[in-house]
Structure 1
Amino acid sequence: MEFRYRLKKKENKNEENESQSEPFIEKKSTVDIPIFSSSSENEIVNSKSSSSSLTIPSTPKKSNWRKDKVNICLLIFLYLLQGIPLGLAAALPLIIQTYGANWSQQATFSFAFWPFSLKLLWAPFVDSIYFKKFGRRKSWLIPVQLLIGLVMIIFSFYITNILNLIKTTPNSQLPVYLLTSIFFGLSFLAATQDIAVDGWALSMLSRENVGWASTCNSVGQTAGICIGRVVFLGLESKDFANNYIRKPLNLQEQSTGLVTIPHFFLFWGISFIISTTLIAFLKHEIDKSSDSDEQYFGLMETYKVLIKVFRLSAVRRTALILLTLKIGFVAIDAMTGLELTERGVTKDAIAFLSIPLMPLQIILPFFIAKYTTGPKPLNILIISYPFRLLFGIVLAVFVYYTPPFQNTDKSFPWYYYLIAIIVYSIHQIAVYNMFVSLMAFFAKISDPKIGGTYMTLLNTLANFGNHWVSTAALYAGDYLTWKTCSIGNKRCGAKAAEKECTRLGGVCGPYIDSYYIEVALCTIFGILWLIWQYKTLMHLQSLPLSAWLVRMHRRKSKMIGDNENATATTMITT
C-alpha cells in the first residue's frame, strides 16, 4: 500500500528553491443554486469546475481530443454516474414535501448534502493511500462505485415504506433519519468518487488534452444531476406522464408515472454494479508518477499548510464573511421551492423550471467576468447584495400570489411559468454577480505557491456557509409558523394546543406562514450585515497581496522514487 501525497513542481526549474509547490487538492467552485429547486442542491450544482491539480507542460502542445476520445467518453460517463445519486438527493426534498414533511424534517434531511462541502477533510487520504498493483485511483473508484450501486439496490426495496411512514407518522423523525443517513452515505461516497475521478483524469488524458478534464466534469456531472433530478421527477410524475405522454398517444391514464421511485433506484444501482465491474477488468490505470513532473507531499504537511493559511488575520476575517454572507438570502434560497409545492405547484414543474434557465447560468458569468477582473472585484458583490435582497421580497410576493393563478383542475396556465422564469432570471443576475465576484476575489488573494490549497479552503468555507444557514433556516420554519385552530380561532402552535384542537374536531393550520416571517427577518439581517461588513469588504480587497501570503521555506532532502528510489520530502516552516 502506498502512502504519499502529490505536489506539483514549478514550471520554472530555476525558481524551485525559492517557492513551495502546490499540494494536490482538488478545488471546486461554489455557486448559488436555482431557488426553484431544493436548497440541498446548493452543493450539487456547484461542484463543477476544473481541478486545481492540472500540471501544464512547459512547452504546451496543441490539444487533439481525438487522441483521447475513448478516455474523454469514459470520464464523462464516470462524472455522469457521480451526478446520479446527487441528483436523486436533490429530488428527495420535493418528494418528501408531497408526503407531508414539515420544516424540521426538511432541515434534518439537509444534512445529507454536507459531505460534498467538507470533502477537503478526507481528500488527502484518497490521494495518498492506495494499492499500487490495482491502481492509484481505481483503489478508491471501484469499491466506492460498487458501494453506491449496492446501497441503491438495497434501498430500492425499502424507500416506498420509508416515504409512507412520513405520511402515516407525521410527528416521527425516524423515517427522515433513515433517509438522511442513507443519502448522507451516498453523498459521502459520491464526493470520494469525485476526488478519485479528478485525479485519474490527469493521468488518463494526454498532457496536451489535460484541459478536457474540467469539460468532462462539467458535462458529465450536469447530465447526471439532470437525470437524477429533472428526468427522474418527470418520469415519476403521474401528471406529466398522463398529460404529455399517455394522452397524446391515446393511452389510458394511470395512477403512477412512467417509472416508480423503487424501479429508478434499482435500475441505476444495477447500472453502477455492471459498469464498475467492466471498468475494473477492462480499463487499466497507468501510473505516470515516475516519469512526470510531480513530487510527493507528506499527508500531515498538507493539513499544516491549511492551518497556516487559516491563521492569517485576513483569511480569518474573510472566513467570517463567507460563513455569514448568505444569511440574508437563506429563506429565499432554501425555502422557496418547497413553499411553491405547498401552494400547488407540482414537483416536476418546479424541476422543469430549471431547464430554460441553464443557458443563462452558463452565459451570464462570462459577461460579468469583465467587471470583476480589476483591483477591486468585491465591488460587484457589494452592489449586487442589496439588489438581491430587494428581489428576494419580489420572489416572496410572487409565491404569495401563486394560488390565484391555479386553474380549477389544479394546473397552472403557461403565463404563470413564463412569469416565474422572468422573475427568477432577473434574480439570477444578482446571484451570479455575487458568485463571479467572490471567485475573482479568491483568485486574486490566493497565494500562487499554494493556490490549489488556498482556493479549496476558501471554497470549503463558502460551501459550509451555504449549508449551515440553510439547515438552520429550515429548522426555524416550524417554530416561526403561527397556527390557529379552525374551531374558535385559537392559537395552537404548541403540541398540547394542537392535540386539543384535533380532539374538538378542528384543524390546526398556519395563520402566518413561517416562510414570509423568515424572508422578512433575513432581509432585515441582510441590511444590517451589509452595514456591518461594508468597511471590512472594502478593506479586504484593498489589502496588499503580502497580507495573504503564507511564509514558507523549502528544504531539500533525500529523494525516494518508485523507479529511482527517490522522492522529495518537503518541510514547511513559518
Structure 2
Amino acid sequence: MKVPETSRVLAPDEALGMPDLTRPLDQFELELGDPDYAANSAMQSLGSLSVTDRRNFYFLTLLYYAQGIPVGLTFGSIPFLLKERLSYSEIGIFTFASFPYSLKILWSPVVDAFYIPKFGRRQSWIVPIQIFSFILLLVLSKHVAYYIENAETKLVALTIMFGTLVFACATQDIAVDGWALTLLSKPALPYASTAQTIGINGGYFTSFTVFLALSSPEFANKYFRKTPIPDVGLVTLSGYLQWCAFVYFIATAAVIFLKHRDPVPSRLDQGQSVIGIYKSMISVLKLKNMRSLTMVHLLGKLAFQAAEAVTNLKLLEKGLSKEDLALVVLIDFPFEVIFGYYAARWSSGPQTLRPWLIAYVLRLIFASVSMSQVYFFPESGVSNWFLTYVIFVHTLGSFLATVQFVSITAFHTKIADPEIGGTYMTILNTLCNLGGQWPRVIVLAGVDWFTKAYCDVNGERCVTMEEKAACSALNGTCIVVRDGYYFMNFVCLGLGVFLFTTFIQKTMRRLQSLPTSAWRY
C-alpha cells in the first residue's frame, strides 16, 4: 500500500508540542502523574484488564522469559567465563554467536508465511523451535564444561553452538512478537512491551546475574555456607542448562495445551506468499520514516558500547571479586522487573519516545560515571563504600537502559502493522538489536588495539592473554602505560553527544508525532 504523500507531511519541530529535554527528571515524573496526561494515555492498570488479557499477558511473559535464557547466557555469562582464558579480541569473536538475533529479519517473512492452519499460525513455529531448543540445551549441558575449559582451541565450536541456540531463540522471537499484536486486545496492547521487558529481562538476569552468583564458589561460601567448599558453587553451568531445558519444556506445554489457534490475517487468507511478505518487508524498509528510524537504531547505541561491554570486565581485572560482582547484579535483578513495569506506564501516552530521549541523555552521563569506577578503583581493596557506589551506578544505569528499551518497544508495538506482525516487529527489533551488536566487536578489539603495556622483565608487549601469560612465566609484571578502555569510552561518548545533538533528538521527536498511516506501505 502506497501512503499518499500528503499524509506524510511533517510538522516543524516547534509545532510538535515537545517539552524541553533539559528539565529535571523529577519534573518529567510529575508530568507523567498529571491527571490530564493520564487521561490521554490508553494504558490501563494491569488489574483493570480483562481476565483473558491478564492470562495472555502472563502467557507472553513466560514465552519471553524462555527467550531471555539463551540471551543472558550468550550476551552475559559465557563472555564472563571466557574472560579468564581469552583476550578482549578473542571474546569479540564469541560475540558473533549473538548476531542471529540481529539478522532474524532475513527469515522473518518465512515465519509469517508458512504455518500449519490446524495447528495455528504462531504455534506452528513456536512449538518445534522450543522443542529444538530443549534438546540443544540438554546436549550443551553434557559438553559445555569441556569447551569452556578448552576455550583457546574450542572457541569457534563454542561460538557455533551458542549461535545455533540464539538462532532458535531469534526465530521464536519473530513468532512471539507477531502473536503479541493479536493475542492482546487493543486497550491491553501496550502491555505487550511490558511482558517483553519483564520476560526477557527476567530470563536474561536469571542466566546472567543469578547464574553467576550461584555458580560462584566465593559467593556461596561467603553468603550461604557455614563450612566453605573450595572451587564449588551452588550450581554448575551444566546443571543450569538442564534447568533451562526444563523451562522450555514447560513453555512448550503451555503453548500446546493452553492456547487456541492464532487467527490468520485477511491478507494471508487471500493467499499472500512468502515472496509477497518479502516484498512487503522491502516496502516497509523503503518508507522515508523507516529509513530515519533505521539510522537512529544503527547509531543510537554507539555511545554506550565501551561502558556496557567492558566496564564490568575491567572491574574484575582491577580486583573486584566475582562474589561482589554477583552481589551487585543480584541486587539489581528485582529492580529491573519494577523498572520495566513503570517504564511501560511512562511510555504509553502520545509522546511514547519522550522517556527514551530523557534516558539517552542520562545514559551519556552515567557512561562517564561508570568509567569512574575503573579509574578510582581502590588499590587497597574494595571497601563497603566503594561496593555501595558500584551497586548504585550499576542499578541506575540498568534503570536508564530499561526505560529506553521499554519506550522504544512500546513505540514499535504502536506503529507495527499486525497484518504482517511477525515481519514488521522483527524489522524494528532487528534494527534495534543490530545497533547494539555491530559496534561491540570493534570496541572490544579497540580496547586491545589502543592499550599500551609492556612486561617489566623483557620490555615485550603485554596486552593479550598469551602475552600476559608469557610475562608471568618470567615472574614479571605487566605495566600499563595507556589503557585502551578509556580511549574507546571517550570516542564512544563523543560520538554519542554529537549524534544526539545533531540528528537523534530532532529525528525521534518528529517520528513520534506521525500518524500510524505514515508507517504503512
User: Which TM class, normalised by the smaller chain length?
Assistant: 0.7 to 0.9
In the alignment, the residues of structure 2 paired with residue 209 and residue 547 of structure 1 have an alpha-carbon distance, to the nearest angstrom, of: 18
Residue 146 of structure 2 aligns with an amino acid whose one-letter code is N
Distance 1:478 1:464, change over 3 A: same
Does the 8 A contact of 1:113 with 1:184 survive in 2?
yes
> What's the offset of the Cα at 1:331?
0.7
In the alignment, the residues of structure 2 paired with residue 422 and residue 467 of structure 1 have an alpha-carbon distance, to the nearest angstrom, of: 26
Distance 1:528 1:464, change over 3 A: same
Matches within 5 A, 1:147-226: 147-166=132-151, 172=152, 174-198=153-177, 217-226=196-205
> What's the offset of the Cα at 1:182?
1.2
Return the match for 1:111 from 96, 101, 123.
96
Return the match for 2:452 from 464, 479, 482.
482
Distance 1:523 1:204, change over 3 A: closer
Q: Deviations over 1:492-536 (max 9, x none)?
A: 5699998996786645554322211211222333344346x34x7
Alpha-carbon RMSD: 4.5
Residue of structure 2 in register with 1:256 after alignment: 232
Does the 8 A contact of 1:124 with 1:302 survive in 2?
yes
Distance 1:456 1:161, change over 3 A: closer
In the alignment, the residues of structure 1 paired with residue 282 and residue 263 of structure 2 have an alpha-carbon distance, to the nearest angstrom, of: 27
Residue of structure 1 in register with 2:21 after alignment: none
Matches within 5 A, 1:45-60: none
Q: Deviations over 1:44-98 (max 9, x none)?
A: xxxxxxxxxxxx9xxxxx8542x6887776655444333322232232112212x
Distance 1:290 1:391, change over 3 A: closer
Runs (5+) with no aligned partner, structure 1: 1-6, 8-18, 20-55, 57-61, 167-171, 407-411, 553-574
Q: Secondary structure at the match of 1:354?
A: helix
Residue 506 of structure 2 aligns with an amino acid whose one-letter code is M
Residue of structure 2 in register with 1:416 after alignment: 386
Matches within 5 A, 1:308-347: 308-345=283-320, 346=322, 347=325
Q: Secondary structure at the match of 2:444?
A: helix
Does the 8 A contact of 2:347 with 2:355 survive in 1?
no
Distance 1:329 1:135, change over 3 A: closer
Q: Secondary structure at the match of 2:93?
A: helix
Matches within 5 A, 1:486-501: 486-487=456-457, 489=459, 491=461
Return the match for 1:307 from 270, 282, 288.
282
> What's the offset of the Cα at 1:468?
0.5
Residue of structure 2 in register with 1:404 after alignment: 379
Does the 8 A contact of 1:447 with 1:549 survive in 2?
no
Does the 8 A contact of 2:292 with 2:507 survive in 1?
no
> What's the offset of the Cα at 1:456?
4.8
Matches within 5 A, 1:80-95: 80-89=65-74, 90-95=76-81
Deviates more, 1:192-201 or 1:543-552: 543-552
Residue 419 of structure 1 aligns with an amino acid whose one-letter code is Y
Does the 8 A contact of 1:153 with 1:270 survive in 2?
no
Q: Deviations over 1:20-66 (max 9, x none)?
A: xxxxxxxxxxxxxxxxxxxxxxxxxxxxxxxxxxxx9xxxxx8542x
Q: Secondary structure at the match of 2:231?
A: coil
In the alignment, the residues of structure 1 paired with residue 495 and residue 193 of structure 2 have an alpha-carbon distance, to the nearest angstrom, of: 37
Residues 1:139 and 2:124 are matched in the alignment: yes
Matches within 5 A, 1:348-367: 348-355=326-333, 357-358=335-336, 361-362=339-340, 365=343
Residue of structure 1 in register with 2:506 after alignment: 538
Residue of structure 1 in register with 2:35 after alignment: none
In the alignment, the residues of structure 1 paired with residue 258 and residue 407 of structure 2 have an alpha-carbon distance, to the nearest angstrom, of: 41
Question: Comparing both structures, which one devotes a greater share of its residues to helix?
Answer: 2
Return the match for 1:228 from 203, 207, 210.
207
Residue of structure 2 in register with 1:566 after alignment: none
Residue of structure 2 in register with 1:52 after alignment: none
Q: Percent of counterpart pairs with the same letter?
A: 30
Does the 8 A contact of 1:137 with 1:196 survive in 2?
yes
Does the 8 A contact of 2:201 with 2:336 survive in 1?
no
Q: How many residues align?
A: 470
Q: Secondary structure at the match of 1:483?
A: strand
Distance 1:119 1:348, change over 3 A: same
Residue of structure 2 in register with 1:14 after alignment: none
Structure with max Cα Rg:
1
Deviates more, 1:123-132 or 1:540-549: 540-549
Residue of structure 2 in register with 1:464 after alignment: 434
Deviates more, 1:319-328 or 1:429-438: 429-438
In the alignment, the residues of structure 2 paired with residue 426 and residue 129 of structure 1 have an alpha-carbon distance, to the nearest angstrom, of: 43
> What's the offset of the Cα at 1:546?
8.7
Residue of structure 2 in register with 1:549 after alignment: 518
> What's the offset of the Cα at 1:155?
1.7
In the alignment, the residues of structure 2 paired with residue 416 and residue 352 of structure 1 have an alpha-carbon distance, to the nearest angstrom, of: 17
Does the 8 A contact of 1:315 with 1:548 survive in 2?
no
Return the match for 1:265 from 241, 251, 267.
241
In the alignment, the residues of structure 1 paired with residue 351 and residue 209 of structure 2 have an alpha-carbon distance, to the nearest angstrom, of: 35
